[in-house]
Amino acid sequence: MPKPVNLLRNILSDMIGSKWAPRKDTKAKGSLLLVTGKMRRSIRSGISGRGVKFTSPLPYTGLHNTGGKFTQTVRSHSRTSKTGKSYTVKAHSRTMTMPQRQFIGDHPKVQQAISEIVHDNIAEFFDNLAKDLRK
């Protein structure tokens, strides 16, 4: 059986709560769900009260999962126009809207995986306890 963390990661990466908004760039190729895999690999799970909590240390994970507006600071830089003229773009900030692209949350497959993990851990605990009592 795969490690619990890997099992949950695989289920969570397959789980999408609702259909995602399409890309703005219609010519873009590849998957919206997976480019480098860094966000998927960053998912951690832990017990919180009477439930399981999923977290990620990456600052943009929550924004991707819930969507929303954010401000991005653009540094001063040089740019060349289509006509070949070079000019400097001043530093500025811009507000951008990220559509919700949920990839983590509650789902029947997640509930089933958690139940299997708990069951396997309890079975392993009692197997080890029985071995220790036989000694």
Could you give the percent of the chain with pLDDT greater than 90? 29
- Compute the distance between CA of residue 94 and CA of residue 68 in angstroms, rounded to an integer: 14
Indicate the residue type of 94.
Answer: R
Average pLDDT on 3-12 reads: 52
56-66 per-position pLDDT tens digit: 899 888 888 88
Comparing C-alpha atoms, which of 66, 51, 49, 71 is closest to residue 103? 66
Average pLDDT on 103-127 reads: 85
User: Given the structure tokens 């540094």, which residue do they identify?
Assistant: 75
